[in-house]
Amino acid sequence: AQTVTQSQPEMSVQEAETVTLSCTYDTSENNYYLFWYKQPPSRQMILVIRQEAYKQQNATENRFSVNFQKAAKSFSLKISDSQLGDTAMYFCATRQGGSEKLVFGKGTKLTVNP
Amino acid sequence: DSGVTQTPKHLITATGQRVTLRCSPRSGDLSVYWYQQSLDQGLQFLIQYYNGEERAKGNILERFSAQQFPDLHSELNLSSLELGDSALYFCASSTIAGPSETQYFGPGTRLLVL
């Protein structure tokens, strides 16, 4: 079974600084997909970034980038130039090739301080 | 705005009652997913429909059922409600079915069972 572990329940960062959120996962599959979703206080789930396991290049979306270490089954999210609007819960999720459901971690609550 | 709509936004009801949550996927999306977010269980996949047919089932209780209609909107029916059913229920949609597809989430329906 797939499992996703986010070991940091809470983190904080100063505005304009960089922060990295950790995620490890367990899967027996070779074909899978990884996602980071953001859930601000409004409770909306917003896709931040996705990574295909077969791609070696790390995904990047503006200030958001990932460090995908396939052998270590690690998928961390780096937020550069943090903004107050980045304050949210961040969920790491995985989806195996043979399944369409998303399996989520417990989340990391990120607070960006002015 | 993801393009996925859910109604109602909030629902307060009593134990033993039955409620229906409604989801309209993004225009053109054929696949609909239901997730439950609770404090103790986190985000869990309940069920998926694709073009009117049930495609995958997760941790959905027998008291819960869902369907997808010809116009592709979906409804999640929760019956014999218990206090523990209080949660945020999300609907997500994707263009087609498949693990590579990105799921876009609606704003959720917050259910409170008293």
Chain A residues close to B44, C-beta within 8 Å: 104
Compute the count of residue pairs across chains A and B with CB atoms less than 8 Å apart: 61
Chain A residues close to B3, C-beta within 8 Å: none
- Residue B16, exposed/middle/buried by CB under 10 A (0-12, 13-18, 19+)? exposed
Tell me the three-class secondary structure of A19-38, residue by residue.
EEECCEEECCCCCEEEEEEE
Chain B residues close to A106, C-beta within 8 Å: 42
Beta strands in chain B (DSSP E): 5-7, 10-13, 19-24, 31-38, 42-50, 53-57, 64-68, 74-78, 87-94, 104-105, 109-113
pLDDT band at A26 (very low <50, low <70, confident <90, very high): very high
Query: What's residue A2's pLDDT?
Result: 79
Instruction: Inform me whether the pLDDT recorded for B51 exceeds 80.
Output: yes
Q: With contact defined as beta carbons under 8 Å apart, do A26 and A84 qualify?
A: no
A17 touches chain B (CB under 8 A): no
Q: Which of A102, A103, A109 to mutate to test the interface with B (most CBs of B within 10 A)?
A: A102
Between residues B29 and B1, the one the model is more confident about: B29
DSSP A49-114: EEEETT--SPPEETTEEEEEETTTTEEEEEE-S--GGG-EEEEEEEEETT----EE---EEEEEE-
The 10s digit of each residue's pLDDT in A69-113 is 999 999 999 999 999 999 999 999 998 766 778 999 999 999 999
Cα gap B79→A49, rounded to integer Å: 36
**B6 → chain A, closest CA residue:** A44
pLDDT mean across residues, chain A: 93
Q: With contact defined as beta carbons under 8 Å apart, do B106 and A42 qualify?
A: no
CA distance A19 to chain B (A): 24
Q: Token digits for A33?
A: 């997909």
In the block, tokens 């693990």 appear at B99
pLDDT mean across residues, chain B: 93
Cα gap B107→B94, rounded to integer Å: 15
Instruction: Inform me whether the pLDDT recorded for B80 exceeds 90.
Output: yes
Residue of B58, B99, B108 lying closest to A97 (CB–CB): B99
The 10s digit of each residue's pLDDT in B5-39 is 999 999 999 999 999 999 999 999 999 999 999 98
A55 touches chain B (CB under 8 A): no
Q: Token digits for B95?
A: 């263009």
